[in-house]
Structure 1
Amino acid sequence: MSFFNKVFASVGIGSAAVDTKLEKDTYMPGETVNGVVEIKGGKIDQQVDEIYLTLNTTYLRESDDKKYTVTAAIEKFRLTTPFVIRANEKKDIPFSFQLPFDTPLSIGRSKIWVTTGLDIKGGVDPSDKDYLKVVPNPLMSAVFNAIDNLGFRIREADCEEAPRRLRGRLPFVQEFEFVPTAGLFRGRLDELEVVFFPSGNGMLDIMFQVDRRARGLSGLFSEAMGADETNVRLSVSNADIPNLQQKIQSVIQRYS
C-alpha cells in the first residue's frame, strides 16, 4: 500500500464510492421505501464507522423581513455498524424504512430527496443524492379532489417555517394555497389555505385558513386588520371519503 494512496484517500481521491438505488422513485407518506446501497472500495482498505440515509427537504424561513431557503432533515436512518471496506471490494447493503407520515408532498416547489453518507475514519466522507416523488395517499387525494370540485384551483404550495403553536416534530409545515375560480365561493373568498397534519392511525387533521373577500367598508377594515381570516380544523378518516366534499363545503361555508 503506497504512502500516496493513503494521502489521496484522505482527501477523497481513490476513496470508497457509494451509490444508492431505490426500488422505485414514487411513494406515498407512510409507505415502505426499499433499496440497496452499493459501495465500491477505493485503492486502500478503509474503516467505515457507519452508513446512514437522511431524508431531506427545504423550507422557507423568514428573518428581518427576508425569506431564506433552509434545508431540513425529516428523518435519519442508520444502516450499519462499523466495518472495513477492502480495496476494490464491492458490497451491497439492502435497506428498508417507512416514509414518515409528515413527509411533504412533491407539489409546487417542494423537493424531497435521500442523501446517503459514509462516515470514513481519516478520509473524506463520500455521499449520494436521490430524489423522491412523494404523492398524496388516498385520503389526501380525496381532499384535493373535493376542493377541486368546489371550484378551487391550486395557486402555490410551499414548505414554510411553522409558528410555535403549529409546530410538531418538524420546524415547518407544507401549505397549499387555493383560489376560487368557479362555483359557490368565487367572489366570496380571496383564497383558501390548507395544511395537513397526518397521523399514523389513519386520521388526517386539516387546517383551513379561510380568507374572506372584502365587501363594503366594514370588510375593508377587517381586511386591513387581518380579521378577515379564520383558521378552522377538521379531522377526517378514510370512512369520510364518500362525504368529504360535503364536509369541507360545510366548514368553508360556515366561515366565508
Structure 2
Amino acid sequence: MSIVKKALATMGIGAATVDTVLDKTSYQAGERINGVVYIKGGKVEQFVDAIYLSLHTSFIKVSDDRKYTNTATIVQERLNEPFTIKEGEKIELPFTIVIPHDAPLTISNTRVWVTTGMDIKNAVDPTDLDYIEVQPNSLTNAILTSIESLGFRLREVECEAASNAYGQRYPFLQEFEFVPTSGEFRGKLDELELTFLNQNETNAEILFQVDRSARGLRGLLSEALEMDESFIRMTITEHDRLVLGEKIGTLIRRFI
C-alpha cells in the first residue's frame, strides 16, 4: 500500500465514498423508508467501523433574547458490523428505517433529512444527506383538519426547544399556531396553539394553548399580565375520529 495514498486517504482524498438512494422523497409519519447505501472503495484499502443512518431536524432555541438553530436526531440506526473495503470495491447495502409517528411534519420552515455516515478509522468520515417530506399520519391529519373546520387557519409551524417536562422524547416540540378567521371563535380568540406531546398510530396526546382576545378593561388587564392564556392537555384516539370537531370545539368553549 502506497504511504502517500494512505496519507491522502486519511484527509479524505482518494478515500471511500458513500451515496444513499431512497425509494422516494415523500413519506407519512410511521412509514418505512427503504433504500440502498452504495459504498465505493477509494485508492487504498480501508477499515470501516460502522455505517449508520440518521433522521434529523432543526429547531429554534432562544438564549439571551437571541435565536439559535440547533439540530436534533430523531432516530439513528447502525446498518452493519465492521468490515474492510478494498481499493475500488463496490458494495450495496439495502436498508429499512421507520419514521416515528411523532417525527416533525415538514410544514412551513420545518425540514427533515436523512444522513448517512461511515466511520473510518484514522480518516475523514464520508457522509451523504437527503431531504425528505414528512406528511401527517391519518389521525394527525384528521385532528388538523377538524381544527380548520372550526374556522381556524394554520398560520405558522415551528420546532422550538423544550424541556422534558411533558415527557417528550426529543429536545424540541413542534408547535402549530392557528388563528380564527371565521365561525364562532372569530373575535373571541387571538390564536390557538397546538403541540403534539406523544403520538402513535391510534393515539395523540395534545397540549392546547387557548389565547383569548382582550375584551374590556378586565380583558386588557389580563392580557397585560398574560392571564389570558389557558393550557389544556388532552388525549385523542381513533375512536374520537367521527366527533373530533365537536370534541375540540367543546373543549375550547370552556375557556372563552
TM-score normalised by the chain length of structure 2:
0.97
What does the per-residue CA deviation read over 1:176-195, in whole Å, with 9 as the maximum and x for residues that have no partner? Answer: 00111111111000000001
Give how far 1:200 is off.
Answer: 3.2
AA partner of residue 223 (structure 2): E
Q: What does 1:143-158 correspond to in 2, within 5 Å?
A: 143-158=143-158
| Aligned match of 2:232 | 232
Provide Cα deviations, 1:8-63, integer angstroms capped at 9, x if missing partner: 11100111110111111112222122111110111111100000111111111111
Give the number of equivalent residue pairs.
256
Q: 2:83 maps to what in 1?
A: 83
Give the Cα separation in 2 of the matches to 1:62 and 1:6. Answer: 44
Q: Report the equivalent of 1:21.
A: 21
Is residue 38–residue 90 contact of structure 2 (8 Å, CA) maintained in 1? yes
Deviation at 1:234, TM superposition (A): 2.1
| Partner amino acid, structure 2, of 1:188 | K
Q: Which residue of 2 aligns with 1:244?
A: 244
- The one-letter amino acid of 2:220's match is L
**What residue in structure 1 maps to residue 40 of structure 2?**
40
CA contact (8 A) 1:167 1:173 kept: no
CA offsets 1:162-216 (integer angstroms, 9 cap, x no match):
1442252211100000111111111000000001123336211111100000000
- For 1:90 and 1:66, the matched residues in 2 are separated by 47
* 1:65 paired to 2:44: no
The answer to whether structure 1 residue 222 and structure 2 residue 216 are counterparts is no
Contact 2:137-2:201 at 8 Å conserved across structures: no
Q: Are 1:107 and 2:107 counterparts?
A: yes
Residue in 1 that maps onto 2:170: 170
C-alpha distance after superposition, 1:81-127 (max 9, x if no partner)? 10011111110111112212221000111100011000001211000
Q: In the aligned structure 2, how far is the partner of 1:205 from the partner of 1:76?
A: 24
For normalisation by structure 1, the TM-score amounts to 0.97
Q: Which moved more, 1:153-162 or 1:19-28?
A: 19-28
Counterpart in the other structure of 2:9: 9
Unpaired runs of 5+ residues, structure 2, are none
Given that 1:47 and 1:84 are in contact with CA atoms closer than 8 Å, whether structure 2 keeps it comes out as yes
In structure 1, C-alpha distance between the alignment counterparts of 2:89 and 2:255, rounded to whole Å: 64
Partners of 2:123 and 2:212 in 1: CA distance: 58
CA RMSD of aligned residues (A): 1.2
% same residue: 51
CA contact (8 A) 1:40 1:90 kept: yes
Give, in whole Å, the separation in 2 of the partners of 1:16 and 1:122.
13
